[in-house]
Amino acid sequence: TLSQSVHATMFAMTSAALAIVLARYSAQSEVLFGCPIANRNSDTQDVIGPFAGPMAMRLDLSGDPSLRDLVVLAREETIEALDNTNIPFEMLFERLKVRSVDGRNPLFQFYFTYQIAVTQSRQVGNLAISPLPASGLGTPYEFQLSLLERPEGVSARLEYNSDLFHAETM
């Protein structure tokens, strides 16, 4: 109801909630996390499918914003980020002269995905598309939260680097 009242998607709503958790546990008023984004034009989308690259999302919680204000901010930041998808993430790294340290992403250590699951098989030309069961692939980030929306509800998967975190504290 809240996300609908401010014309925000569930991605914006859950991004705002995530930002609150990250800010509280990190004692920081500004949080930065990565999320997947498809950065191609509509001419190629049907040909190569929904492949995605990382996008950095920054949310500022200074001034103790209300949840409503934070959802609006998340919606606006998402729209702004989507307006700049023509710049590949790798090019941004190159221009900023950013280097990874020990294989860790220097822009963000946390990755967040919210997906609406494909629940029905379908045929596209000679290609048969079938949904796969949810499974963890590991993560190159310190930790990753994935939400998957299906008709029966939303499921969550948290993956983390066990060299940095313990199961009890995650």
pLDDT digits (tens, 9 = 90+) for 71-118: 999 999 988 887 776 666 667 667 776 666 666 666 788 889 888 776
- At 166, is the pLDDT very low, low, confident or very high (cuts 50, 70, 90)? confident
Instruction: Estimate the share of the chain in helix, then strand, then coil, as percent rounded to the nearest 5.
Output: 30, 30, 40
Cβ distance 81 to 16 under 8 Å?
A: no
**Average pLDDT, integer, range 14-41:** 85
Ramachandran angles phi, psi of 91, nearest 5°: -70, -40
User: Are the CB atoms for 141 and 111 separated by under 8 Å?
Assistant: yes
Residue type (1 letter), 101: V
Report angle CA 28, 31, 35 to the nearest 5 degrees: 160
Q: What is the pLDDT of residue 149?
A: 87
pTM (predicted TM-score): 0.76
Top pLDDT among 129 and 20 is at 20
Residue with tokens 């994935």: 146
| SS3 (DSSP) at 27 | coil
Query: Does residue 164 surpass a pLDDT of 90?
Result: no
Question: What pLDDT is recorded for position 49?
Answer: 58
